[in-house]
């Protein structure tokens, strides 16, 4: 298997071939029931792209996102992230990939409760082995960049939804990832705040060249992206312009 590319920087950041995902559920009545969620998904995403993945609920977009984020393993097919075959990576290497290469932003923010914004942002660095003082310095710098410099000592429940999502974005960015995976990042936010958050993503993509993959079911959010992948019943039905 040609898992190593001659020049990984020239190769696509994400290369997915015939990815399938089947969940096995033992419902206790008629034994194991298999339900396939993804069918032969193939996808290339280059560095610096801003891609929106759309689809109705149950279309498999969240499953695809989990696979891309190395949070789950495919049933079959291949996934190369930055030129490395993810299937060949051990648990610890996957954790390292999630720590170094990918930054996650979730719909529900997923901040650690009863921890200050600063500590939340600094936590990935803790797992990267960065010292405490340096971690806090970098975390504070990122909070300032997202306009939350004055909220470093606040806990998530003291912040508004938009502020919490900014903290989450800061956390995603703290280890200088190449890829940001955002799973309905504006799903819990009002229109105005959604616009502000999307502006942050747009700026990160434009100014720092960070690859962004965004899952959404709102057309006006998807409109911020430069490329649209539409899923239906576990299959890619559109891959191209945003206006489709």
Partner 1 sequence: MNLLAIIGEALRALRLNRLRTGLTMLGMIIGVAAVVLMLSIGQGAQTTVNQAIASMGSNLFIVLPGATSSGAMRQSSGSAQTLTLGDAQAVANLPSIKAVAPIITGTAQLNYGANNWSTVVTGVTPDYFKVRNWSTEDGEVFSDTDFRSAARVVVLGQVIAKNLFGDEDPTGKTIRIKKSPFLVTGVLAAKGQSLDGRDQDDSVFIPLTTGQRQIFGSQFPGTIRFMMVQGKSTEVMEEAESEINQLLRQRHRLAEGMDSDFTVRNMAALAAVATGAAKVMSLMLGAIASVSLLVGGIGIMNIMLVSVTERTREIGIRMAIGANRRAILTQFLLEALVICILGGLAGVALGIGGAWAVSQAADMVVVITLGMVGLAFLFASAVGIFFGFYPARKAAALRPVEALRYE
Binding site for partner 1 (CB under 8 A): 66, 69, 71-72, 91-92, 95-96, 98-100, 104, 106, 110-115, 123-124, 126-129, 131-132, 171, 175
| Distance of closest approach, residue 126 Cβ to partner 1, in angstroms | 5
Closest separation between CB of residue 173 and partner 1, Å? 11
CB of 203: closest distance to partner 1 in angstroms? 22
Q: Which residues of 20-56 are buried (b: 16+ CB within 10 A; e: fewer)?
A: bbeeeeeeeeeeeeeeebbbebebebebebbbbbbbe
CB nearer to partner 1: pick between 66 and 75: 66
Closest distance of CB 109 from partner 1, Å = 10
Which residue is associated with the tokens 């194991």?
A: 32
Both tokens assigned to 8: 């990984």
Which secondary structure element, helix H or strand E, spans residue 222, and what is its range? helix 219-222
Decide: 172 and 197 in contact? Cβ < 8 Å. Answer: no
State the number of CA atoms in the 13 A half-sphere of 234 facing the CB. 12
| Pairing outcome for strands 211-216 and 227-232 | unpaired
Q: Measured from the CB of residue 146, what is the shortest distance to partner 1 in angstroms?
A: 17
Number of helical H runs and strand E runs in the chain: 7, 10
- Using the minimum distance from each CB to partner 1, give the nearer residue, 55 or 124: 124
Nearer to partner 1 (CB atom), residue 66 or residue 193: 66
Region of 58 (left: φ > 0; alpha: ψ -120 to 50; beta: rest) is: left
- Closer to partner 1 at the Cβ: 14 or 68? 68
Kindly state the smallest distance separating residue 238's Cβ from partner 1, in Å: 26
| CB nearer partner 1, residue 33 or residue 95 | 95
CA-angle at 193, arms to 192 and 195, nearest 5°: 65
Q: Which is nearer to partner 1, 34 or 113 (CB)?
A: 113
């Amino acid at each position: 298997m040609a898992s190593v590319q001659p020049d990984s920087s020239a190769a696509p950041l994400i290369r997915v071939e015939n990815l399938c995902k089947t969940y096995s559920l033992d419902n206790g009545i008629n034994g194991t029931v298999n339900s396939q969620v993804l069918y032969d998904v193939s996808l290339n995403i280059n560095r610096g792209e801003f891609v929106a993945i759309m689809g109705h609920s149950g279309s498999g977009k969240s499953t695809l996102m989990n696979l891309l984020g190395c949070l789950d393993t495919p049933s079959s097919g291949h996934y190369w992230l930055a030129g490395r075959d993810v299937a060949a990576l051990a648990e610890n290497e996957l954790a390292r990939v999630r720590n170094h290469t990918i930054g996650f932003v979730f719909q529900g923010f997923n901040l650690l409760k009863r921890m200050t914004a600063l500590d939340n942002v600094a936590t990935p660095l803790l797992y990267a082995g960065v010292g405490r003082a340096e971690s806090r310095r970098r975390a504070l710098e990122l909070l300032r960049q997202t306009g939350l410099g004055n909220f470093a000592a606040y806990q998530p429940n003291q912040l508004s939804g938009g502020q919490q999502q900014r903290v989450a974005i800061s956390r995603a960015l703290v280890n200088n990832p190449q890829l940001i995976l955002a799973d309905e990042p504006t799903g819990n936010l009002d229109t105005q705040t959604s616009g502000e958050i999307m502006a942050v993503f747009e700026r990160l993509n434009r100014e720092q060249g960070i690859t962004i993959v965004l899952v959404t079911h709102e057309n006006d959010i998807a409109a911020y992206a430069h490329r649209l992948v539409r899923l239906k019943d576990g299959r890619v039905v559109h891959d191209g312009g945003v206006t489709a």
